[in-house]
Amino acid sequence: MADGRLKVIATESGVAFGFVVISAAAITASPWLRVAGFAGHRLKDLWQHRTHFVSNTRRWPPLCLVVDWIIAAIILVEIIAGLHFR
């Protein structure tokens, strides 16, 4: 949003809405949606970093990519360990 270009704002808002939908579905559906959501966000961060789609965010996407990977890995281990999310 800090970029200020309408194209960037529209794209980022649409992507954010998609992740909100996935997160909402993961509450009542399979916890695998959580892993998929974080993995998808990781891919989005990688794309954003490589294309520089949003200006002035050089350091943010790599940091977010690592955090998303760690959270997805933790949730994955919890699922495999048999932790119940309900």
| pTM for this entry | 0.73
Give the model's pLDDT for residue 86.
Answer: 61
Structural domain boundaries, residue 15: 6-80
The pLDDT assigned to 80 comes to 92
26, part of any domain: yes
Number of domains in the chain: 1
| CA neighbor of 74 nearest in space, from 25, 23, 41, 34 | 34
Using CA atoms in the order 61, 62, 67, 71, what is the torsion angle rounded to 10 degrees?
Answer: 90
Q: Establish if 11 belongs to a structural domain.
A: yes
Distance CA 51, CA 75 (A): 29
**Model pLDDT, residue 44:** 85
Is there a domain that residue 35 lies in? Answer: yes
**What pLDDT, on a 0 to 100 scale, did the predictor assign at position 20?**
92
CA–CA distances in Å: residue 48 to residues 2, 30, 53, 65, 86 = 14, 28, 5, 10, 34
Residue 16 lies in a domain: yes
Digit-by-digit pLDDT tens for the chain (86 residues) are 567 788 888 888 898 899 899 989 988 888 899 899 989 888 888 888 777 777 767 777 788 888 988 999 999 999 999 887 66
